Amino acid sequence: MLFITAMRISVDISEEILNEVMNMTGEKSKSASLSKAINEFVRRRRAKDFGRLIREGAFDYEINDEMKSLMDPIPPLPSE
């Protein structure tokens, strides 16, 4: 079972930026719009970090013949 807890905090944000965040998120309440914006920021940062790890080869591994056949499911034509 997953329990998600919420935390109440005070943050100084200009009205101009807060209104822009509310417009961008489409949320009507300040709390909901900030929560949505923060969640989106974290999601994008995680995706960016994951992409960097892929480019750096963090997930590289040797490919054997069985894996190659799975990557190219169309078998070659039989030679005559």
- pLDDT digit string, tens, across residues 6-45: 788 898 999 999 999 999 999 999 999 999 999 999 999 9
Under the banding of pLDDT at 50, 70 and 90, the label for residue 52 is very high
- The answer to whether 25 touches 37, Cβ cutoff 8 Å, is yes
Indicate whether 61 belongs to any domain.
Answer: no
Q: At what angle do helices 15-25 and 30-55 cross, to 10 degrees?
A: 70
Spatial CB neighbours of 30, under 8 Å, sequence gap ≥ 6? 18, 22
Evaluate whether residue 59 is within a structural domain: no
Q: What are 26's two structure tokens? A: 């489409």
Q: Which of 66, 28, 46, 48 is nearest to 36 (CA)?
A: 28
Instruction: Give the range of the structural domain holding residue 29, as residue numbers without chain letter.
Output: 25-52
- Residue 10 domain flag: no
> Domain total for the chain?
1
